[in-house]
Amino acid sequence: MHRSADDPIGVLRSAVARAVADATSAGRTPIVLIDGPSGAGKSTLADLLIARWPAEGRPRLVRMDDLYPGWDGLDAGSEALGRDLLEPLRAIGAGSWRRWDWAGHHPAGAELVAGGEPLVVEGCGTLSRRNAACADLTVWLEADDALRKERALARDGETFAAEWDRWQAQFERFVAREHPRAAANLVLDVTGLDLPGGITEVRSGTTVES
């Protein structure tokens, strides 16, 4: 077990580098999954990871926000991720996912994903047990509850404010059923993650379980 209190990005990059190297050596497409509650910093951390990618190649980033079929779609999005993208990617070397048109309230075009280049997926519901079984690295983010809500509403505005309780209830049911934190081999408390500028402070430690 490794602990770090001041450099979650460094810890994450090291873990990703090892996971990518192991997957590549085994002939697998490297898959990194990042989950956690709304406002924990998943999108920001994924962006920072892509910008500071510690291995060769340019990873593909898929955001769960683009998969959910509406505000009641957390479970459906999580299931589709495994069924259409992760499991086929593992089984036959290619998968797909279908974008959701939030403005039109209907499915949009399918996005094809070929094997080879690393894949990073971030969003609530990513770490179901089914999905985690396909991954080379599973990451769980957590942060202070009040700060999470402040971040999420600052990012998404009044639209999310009206849906916060509805979405949170879905996520809590998902957590109770799937135990995503227990499925993670990297747990980061990112309460001090500064959204505009990166990591400024980490009030709690980072735990990496191997």
HSE at residue 7, side-chain half, CA atoms within 13 A, is: 6
**What is the 3-state composition of the chain as percent helix, strand, coil, each rounded to the nearest 5?**
45, 25, 30
Cα 163 to Cα 165: distance, rounded to the nearest angstrom: 6
C-beta of residue 171 within 8 angstroms of C-beta of residue 123: no
Radius of gyration of the chain (CA): 16
- Contact at 8 Å (CB) between 123 and 65? yes
Per-residue model confidence as pLDDT tens for the chain (210 residues): 333 346 778 889 999 999 999 999 999 999 999 999 987 788 888 999 999 999 877 899 999 999 999 999 999 999 999 999 999 999 999 999 999 999 999 999 999 999 999 999 999 999 999 999 999 999 999 877 666 666 666 666 566 666 778 889 999 999 999 999 999 999 988 776 554 433 333 323 333 333
Domains, the chain, ordered by start: 2-63+118-208 (3.40.50)
> Which pLDDT score is estimated for 90?
96
87-95 LR contacts (CB < 8 Å, sep 24+):
87/130, 87/134, 89/29, 89/31, 89/113, 89/115, 89/119, 89/134, 90/28, 90/29, 90/31, 90/134, 93/29
Residues 6+ apart with CB under 8 A from 156: none
Max CA distance (Å), the chain: 47
